[in-house]
């Protein structure tokens, strides 16, 4: 199966991105197998994904049955965790945060809630070493973009079951 990224530009209107993801075989017709869907009204805090990619990922998570709150920066996510304004069961973290490095974010988030799983997401080949990820508290779990419905749902299920 192939994924596509369509880019469109118009003078005075900026650049638009459209991500097309294929459905997985054996899916429920909405792009994900039942074992990848949310259970018990679970919540995901998405941090640092950027506007277009973040909206696409948020729509995908909602289709999978998750409640989603998205923020642009690590500091916004940490403030949300500290205030208790949103209580996620997992954090979906783009490793290219604009305001801090991902390992610093993970350590700070774990200081607030040591049991909260953090699932890093990247489109880049270069990521922190497995030893650094384990030390920070996210282990060997990492998702790579482009995200497919089954991959993101299964990644979240695995993070929640550990």
Averaged pLDDT, groups of 10, the chain, 162 residues long: 68 73 50 62 87 84 91 95 93 90 91 92 61 51 77 86 68
Separation between Cα atoms, residue 156 and residue 139, nearest integer Å: 14
Q: Provide the pLDDT for residue 32.
A: 46
Q: Provide the pLDDT for residue 142.
A: 75
Q: Provide the pLDDT for residue 35.
A: 60
Q: Provide the pLDDT for residue 38.
A: 75
Separation between Cα atoms, residue 79 and residue 93, nearest integer Å: 15
Separation between Cα atoms, residue 21 and residue 75, nearest integer Å: 30
């Amino acid at each position: 199966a192939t994924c596509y990224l369509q880019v469109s530009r118009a003078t005075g209107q900026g650049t638009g991105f459209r991500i097309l993801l294929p459905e997985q075989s054996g899916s429920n017709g909405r792009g994900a197998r039942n074992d990848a869907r949310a259970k018990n009204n679970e919540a995901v805090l998405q941090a640092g994904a950027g506007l277009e990619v973040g909206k696409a990922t948020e729509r995908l998570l909602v289709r999978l049955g998750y409640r989603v709150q998205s923020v642009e920066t690590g500091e916004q996510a940490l403030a949300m965790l500290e205030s208790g304004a949103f209580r996620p069961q997992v954090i979906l973290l783009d490793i290219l945060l604009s305001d801090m490095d991902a390992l610093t974010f993970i350590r700070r988030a774990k200081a607030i809630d040591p049991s909260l799983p953090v699932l890093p997401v990247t489109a880049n080949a270069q990521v922190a070493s497995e030893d650094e990820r384990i030390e920070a508290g996210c282990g060997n779990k990492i998702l790579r973009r482009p995200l497919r419905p089954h991959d993101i749902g299964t990644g979240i299920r695995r993070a929640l079951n550990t």
